[in-house]
Amino acid sequence: MKKTFQLNLPNKNYDRAVDSAKYEIRQYIKREKRKPLPEGVDFWEFDCKFGVDVASAEVIAFSQITALVDEAAKNTLEAFYIEILSKPGHKKTKSEDESSETSE
């Protein structure tokens, strides 16, 4: 999903437009998670970007999406851009976690 959400719509309350954007984002994530996993993949992982527009979008953590949409609403932005791309995720075993900690 690569989309710019307009929040100042002529026939829609601002808060309802924000709720509508959150709902659409949640539905996209649910739809992506329901897709069958390729062979050797443990789960779907998401690469996310968020910003006022495409040029200013910065990489964010998946867990920050709702908080950033709420912050955009609090700042009464007219629009925001969000990019969510799914990719195959692999679980790390304990031995991989330990080796990455020792190499740092």
Chain-centre distance for alpha carbon 38: 21
Distance CA 18, CA 27 (A): 14
> Measuring CA to CA, how many Å separate 75 from each of 46, 80, 81, 83?
26, 11, 15, 20
Average pLDDT, rounded, for the chain: 91
Looking at per-residue pLDDT, the higher value among 33 and 96 belongs to 33
pLDDT in tens, 14-30: 999 999 999 999 999 99
Per-residue pLDDT, 95: 72
**Range with lowest mean pLDDT among 1-15, 23-37, 47-61, 84-98:** 84-98
pLDDT in tens, 67-85: 999 999 999 999 999 999 9
Domains identified in the chain, total number: 1
> Measuring CA to CA, how many Å separate 67 from each of 37, 38, 48, 102?
28, 31, 13, 33
Distance CA 55, CA 49 (A): 11
Instruction: Give residue 53's domain range.
Output: 2-103
